Amino acid sequence: MMQIKNALGQKNVGKVSLNEPLHKHTTIKIGGPADIFIEPNSIESIKTTVAILRESQIPIRVIGRGSNLLISDEGIRGAVIKFGKGMDHLVENGNRITVGGGYPLVGLSTIMSKKGRDGLAFAGGIPGSVGGAVYMNAGAHGSDIGKILVKAHILFPDGTTKWLTNKEMRFSYRKSILQEEPRGYCVEAVFHLNEGNKEEIRKKMKRYKAYRKETQPWDLPCCGSVFRNPLPHHAGALVEQLGLKGKKIGGAKISELHGNFIVNDNNATFKDVMELINYIKESVKTTYNIILETEVEIIKN
C-alpha cells in the first residue's frame, strides 16, 4: 500500500494515510483500520484517486461523516475514500444552491435558515454529510432530501461521474438508486430552497432541535436510527412496547430515550452491536411477525 500512497501523494489528491482507525470517523466510535484512507481535496482528485486504485485493483469504499455507519472491528480491506474537507464547497445562485458531498448537513441547514431560505429546516438535527443524506434520502419531521433536490453529481465505481435528476434518483423512504448495484456516491448536489420568513424558520428549527435533544441520544456515541420504520409501524415504538429500552449486550445498549437507537455505552465492539441488532429483530419477529430492516449501513469484510 505504500506504493499506492506515494502515487496518490505525487498527484496531490489530498490527505492519504495507511492503517487509519475508522472508529475516529464514525459517530458510534466503532471500526477497525482501513488499509489506505484518502480524503480528497476536490472532485477531480476523487477521479484521479479512483483511477489509481482501480488500476491496482484495490477495493474502494466511500464514507461521509460516519453518522449512519457500523464498521467491523477488523476494519476495511482496500481503500476508504472520505468525503470531508475539500469536498465542502457551497455556491449560491438565488434559490438554488450547489453544495459538496462532504458539507455537514446541520451546518448547511443552519446557514440557509439564517438567510431565510426554507426547505432544509428538517435537517437541522441530522449529523451527516450532504452526500450521505442524498444516498440515504435522509429525512425527518415529514420532509426529506428528495423533496428539495434538483439534481445530484454522482461518482460510480468505475470512476465515471454523471448528473442524475431528482426523478432518476428514484427516491423513496430512506432509499435512493445509489443504494442499488452498482452503488453510486454523491459528490455534490443542487437543492432548490424557497424564500421564507427568517423568524418562522428559526422557530421551526429550534423546535425540531429541542425535540431531537429530548428524544434521541445524540450526546452519546451512536449510529442514528438502526432500523427503517416498517410503516405504518415505527421501529422505536415496537422496541419500546417489548420493554427493551436499556437492554445491554456487552458494551452496546438500546437507548433509554429512543428504542431505535443503540449507543456505545462502554467500549462496545462491532460484535456487541450486531448481537443486539439481531436480538431486536428476533424479538420483533416473534412477537409481531414484523421483519425489521436495518437503516444503518453495516460494513464487514
The fraction of the chain above a pLDDT of 90, given in percent, is 87
* 295 classed as catalytic: yes
pLDDT of 259: 97
How far from 203 is each of 193, 209, 212, CA to CA, in Å? 17, 10, 14
What confidence score (pLDDT) does residue 248 get?
A: 98
Return the axis-axis angle of helices 198-215 and 105-114, rounded to nearest 10°.
150
Please indicate whether residue 20 is annotated as part of the active site: no
**Contact (Cβ atoms closer than 8 angstroms) between residue 35 and residue 76:** yes
Q: Are 205 and 121 in contact (CB under 8 A)?
A: yes
Residue 301 pLDDT exceeds 80 = no
Q: Report the alpha-carbon angle 223-282-66, nearest 5.
A: 10
pLDDT (tens digit per residue) in 223-281: 999 999 999 999 999 999 999 999 999 999 999 999 999 999 999 999 999 999 999 99
Other beta carbons within 10 angstroms of residue 242's beta carbon come to 17
Can you tell me the mean pLDDT for 196-215? 89
Q: What is the pLDDT of residue 19?
A: 97
Neighbours of 17 (CB within 10 A): 14
Mean pLDDT of the chain: 95
Domains in the chain, CATH or no CATH each: 2-82 (3.30.43.10), 90-215 (3.30.465.10), 235-299 (3.90.78.10)
100 sits in which H/E element: strand 96-100
User: For residue 282, with 0-12 CB atoms within 10 Å meaning exposed, 13-18 middle and 19 or more buried, which class applies?
Assistant: exposed
CA 219 to chain centroid = 17
CA distance 118 to 95: 9
Give yes or no: 174 in active site: yes
Q: Give percent of the chain above pLDDT 70.
A: 100
Give tens-digit pLDDT for 124-179. Answer: 888 899 999 999 999 999 999 999 999 999 999 888 999 999 999 999 999 999 99
Which residue among the candidates 72, 109, 176, 225 is catalytic per the annotation?
A: 225
Choose, from 54, 77, 170, 174, the residue flagged as catalytic: 174
Catalytic residue (one of 20, 39, 188, 295): 295
pTM: 0.92
212 pLDDT tier (thresholds 50, 70, 90): confident
Q: What is the pLDDT of residue 182?
A: 86
